[in-house]
Amino acid sequence: MVPKPTAEELERLHHHQSRSTHAIAAIYGVDQYGVCEWLEEFGIQRRSDDKEIKDWEKIRLARKDITEYALHLTESLACLKEILRCGYLKPARGPRRSQTLGSMQDTIKGPHTAVCFTDQTLGNLCDTFAKFGGRFFWPYGIGFNKTSLYDYGARPVIYGDQSMFHATPADWQYLWAKYDPRPDPALGGYPRDFLHEREWRCRPTAYRLQRLSWDIDGVPILLPRDLSQSPDRPAFVLMVFRQRDADDLKEWLASEQWNGDTEWLRRYFAVLPTARIVVFEDVRKQLKSGNVLWNRLETLPLD
């Protein structure tokens, strides 16, 4: 049975998010005529500028494993608060405890450290949390628009063998991750395959934007593209595990005295308390009920 949006959800998609009837049809896996019937049924006026969308947009909306966001995840609410308090993401070597070797291994090679992201959808992450919560990913973090990240310098990871690493210029080696789909006896028969992580990485970059500058060795949470658009609400989204985490975070954001050393950070702290907060437990429940809008950040029915 094809899932059907509520009147409120359809109104938000078509008028608040400015999605065409063709885009909504791709999200729900129905034809555009069906969406027009929904609009008529709920008494929602069709937008005067409603028009066809390009094939690549239809593919992205129809695919349930593609999202416009990349997420930086951290292990606890306390760690998330620490990140938000400083206003940027600190680069590292991507240390990971090997489940087969039992020791910590750096995943980022070459001369540069970086910040890691994943562009898995919320639905994909909920599946991962349910099976491996606490081992590979944690349900706390920040979601960033991928276009904003890309403009700043973030790129998808390059998966390849050791020869590809050595052929990669040193300044780009931080993007390399070893890939070998063949079972490795030294790893207990596991392959070196992390494609499912859909990882992005980013080096901190000094940035000039009109009269503002960013010289801190970290990736700003308020990215240049988002800063230049001067939104009333920040483009980044905060993510927590349970509703009690969200209540705690809201109270903390409202009670803190936010002060920045630079104009860039002052603007970040000015919008931080208004950031949207997504609760992964709500995402899981909504997806279980068949609500496809909760599969990714860009279609969430939240104001």
Cβ 275 vs Cβ 233: under 8 Å? yes
Centre a 10 Å sphere on the Cβ of residue 254 and count the other Cβ atoms it contains. 8
> Which pLDDT tens digit goes with each residue over 184-228?
888 888 888 888 899 999 999 998 887 889 999 999 999 999 988
Centre a 10 Å sphere on the Cβ of residue 111 and count the other Cβ atoms it contains. 8
Upper half-sphere CA count for residue 92 (Cβ side, 13 Å): 12
Q: What is the pLDDT of residue 104?
A: 79
Residues of the chain with pLDDT under 70: 1-2, 97-102, 133-136, 230-232
- Alpha-carbon span 148 to 170, nearest angstrom: 25
Measure Cα distances from 274 to 155, 261, 270, 296 in Å: 28, 20, 8, 20
> Which pLDDT tens digit goes with each residue over 61-91?
889 899 999 999 999 999 999 999 999 999 9
In the numeric block, which tokens belong to residue 126? 């909920």
In terms of DSSP bridges, do strands 104-106 and 176-178 run parallel, antiparallel, or are they unpaired?
unpaired
Q: What is the pLDDT of residue 129?
A: 84
Q: What is the pLDDT of residue 101?
A: 62
Q: What is the pLDDT of residue 153?
A: 97
Q: What is the pLDDT of residue 128?
A: 85
In the numeric block, which tokens belong to residue 62? 């129809």
- Alpha-carbon span 1 to 21, nearest angstrom: 20
DSSP state of 15: I
Full-prediction pTM beyond 0.85?
Answer: yes
Upper half-sphere CA count for residue 33 (Cβ side, 13 Å): 0
Cβ 50 vs Cβ 21: under 8 Å? yes
- Per DSSP, the three-state class of 191 is strand
